[in-house]
Structure 1
């Protein structure tokens, strides 16, 4: 059996809540509460869910931009949580991130050339002429021109800025790119261009993606497999095709019922969920979704469902499937 490029086991991130005169810990925000998944080399795993469900926190923990509270993260079989800061810096050459907001993720005081040169300098490319040549190559790879190198981020549109962000992630030839909602801040017409660019780059450079998003239409377009997150947990994980054709979890069914269908003759029954998403600082007992679930049973309020494989490669955490 081929070892996956990334393996995540029971990953958790709990943020302390401080209170009182002495600032002692009075509670915890359970942003991610026991997530497990694998990513195979060359595939795209989509991670979807409502805002605040823990998607971005999960992505940042894979790069150790946030330190996990518990769990394991393996990259090419190596436990990255056991690495020192200098070892982790070397490892980040193989693991890069494209951030959500192209307006905030680029330094407004630096030219594009300096932005793209920085990771090259950090990872040991000392020759200035080689760096200049690499910057030119990177700009052309993402659909920009070499003369853009002397410009500042404010001189570009949102789509162009995100292309620069992608170029920066590609600078050191990574194996894994974590794309944290890379098109959510862009116009719909630009979103498709950036998604197509990401797919072209994946084929050209044999990249592996963790693609984080809240738009199920976008995720379907780019992902091989999709994990659905709710309140810090993955509730369903399957191939993209099977998830959209035959969703098992009531939460996934509700999300998909809200996706617009381009064919006006096809009608889809909209599933309206009751109530609001519970607070991650005080999640419900049992199944976290039972307070909003239209199919909730008595045991859902007391017993947390196991994340189990129902079909070949199709996992779900729900008491409806026991």
Structure 2
């Protein structure tokens, strides 16, 4: 498979202003030098604790947030250098499913108007053609034409997320960033939405970046998994390899906390000490060294680079 997306050295720093003149005194390093690629037709899962920068990474990729540094190559074109009409045209092929199905839909617009809006913005089809496409996409995501004139408050959480998925699909994109799309839903509804996303991926040849803090969900839907900690990617591997042979101490700790259906096979829990450092004042060297039981002197001073330890498995750790 060819690479659809290549991220190189992506950074997003948010300024912290203080003092009477509002001078920038320091930065929150939300995303700090992240690089990876996404192959056409695959699902790349990105996991990590809340505040690790995974959502900011996703939004920076599709230019909802302007990156501070780095390149975002989509089909060979650098998204960070596109402006105006060029960027708008490219955005047809990159869409996002937001985490909160309640806040991401305009309560003053009907479902039909919400789904038709992207088509109007991109100048796709006549009024009759747009309505027909909206009705088709409603059927594809498991809703009916009767929902066309209803408002978001008339739907359940699962139905609203189906509307969010329909909105992302309406322009027939190539890449969808799914930003924790099931975390606000009941467990029974989560499985329905995940299965729907997998079916749609096969039907429309979609590529996903699936962002979540739930390792079980990521394992179900992803082909490869990247683990983030404090704005940095610390491990990236095929999902089977990552879950059976985690190499970074942080990944090992995360996986040890996943409940196992057979209590006799539950792995020994690895308890991390201390709190997650502030991204406004990250530790020197390896960002994880303040909580790592395997910390060495080099970890405190030298930042580890991503290195391949075997085919398709990369880890940023001085142990390797």
Contact in 1 for aligned 2:259/2:266 (Cα 8 Å): no
Contact in 2 for aligned 1:248/1:316 (Cα 8 Å): yes
In 1, Cα distance between the equivalents of 2:5 and 2:142? 29
| SS in structure 2 at match of 1:138 | helix
The match for 1:122 is 121
* 1:251-297 deviation digits (Å, cap 9, x = unpaired): 00000000000113313100000000000000000000000001111
The match for 2:16 is 17
Alignment of 1:250-265 (within 5 A): 250-265=249-264
In 2, Cα distance between the equivalents of 1:257 and 1:6? 31
| SS in structure 2 at match of 1:32 | strand
TM-score, normalised by the number of residues in structure 2: 0.99
| SS in structure 1 at match of 2:263 | coil
* 1:19-75 deviation digits (Å, cap 9, x = unpaired): 000000111100000000000000000000000100010001111111111000000
The match for 1:43 is 42
In 2, Cα distance between the equivalents of 1:85 and 1:29? 28
Pairwise CA distance, 1:126: 4.4
| SS in structure 1 at match of 2:3 | coil
| SS in structure 1 at match of 2:291 | coil
Structure 2: which 5+ residue stretches go unaligned? none
Contact in 2 for aligned 1:307/1:318 (Cα 8 Å): yes
The match for 1:83 is 82
* 1:113-152 deviation digits (Å, cap 9, x = unpaired): 0000000111112411111111110111001111111110
The match for 2:71 is 72
Contact in 2 for aligned 1:3/1:76 (Cα 8 Å): no
Pairwise CA distance, 1:86: 1.2
Contact in 1 for aligned 2:52/2:230 (Cα 8 Å): yes
Alignment of 1:176-191 (within 5 A): 176-191=175-190
* 1:281-322 deviation digits (Å, cap 9, x = unpaired): 00000000000001111111111111111000100000111x
Structure 1: which 5+ residue stretches go unaligned? none
Q: RMSD in angstroms over aligned alpha carbons?
A: 0.7
Pair 1:267–1:3, CA change in 2 (3 A): closer
In 2, Cα distance between the equivalents of 1:252 and 1:198? 26
In 2, Cα distance between the equivalents of 1:272 and 1:264? 18
In 1, Cα distance between the equivalents of 2:223 and 2:84? 33
| SS in structure 2 at match of 1:18 | strand
The match for 2:142 is 143
Range 186-195 or range 77-86, more displaced? 77-86
In 2, Cα distance between the equivalents of 1:305 and 1:127? 54
| SS in structure 2 at match of 1:262 | coil
Contact in 2 for aligned 1:44/1:208 (Cα 8 Å): yes
Runs of 4+ in 1 over 2 A off after TM superposition: none
Alignment of 1:97-176 (within 5 A): 97-176=96-175
| SS in structure 2 at match of 1:52 | coil
The match for 2:228 is 229
The match for 1:285 is 284
The match for 2:310 is 311
TM-score, normalised by the number of residues in structure 1: 0.98
The match for 1:55 is 54
Contact in 2 for aligned 1:5/1:41 (Cα 8 Å): yes
| SS in structure 1 at match of 2:25 | strand
The match for 2:6 is 7
Pairwise CA distance, 1:215: 0.3
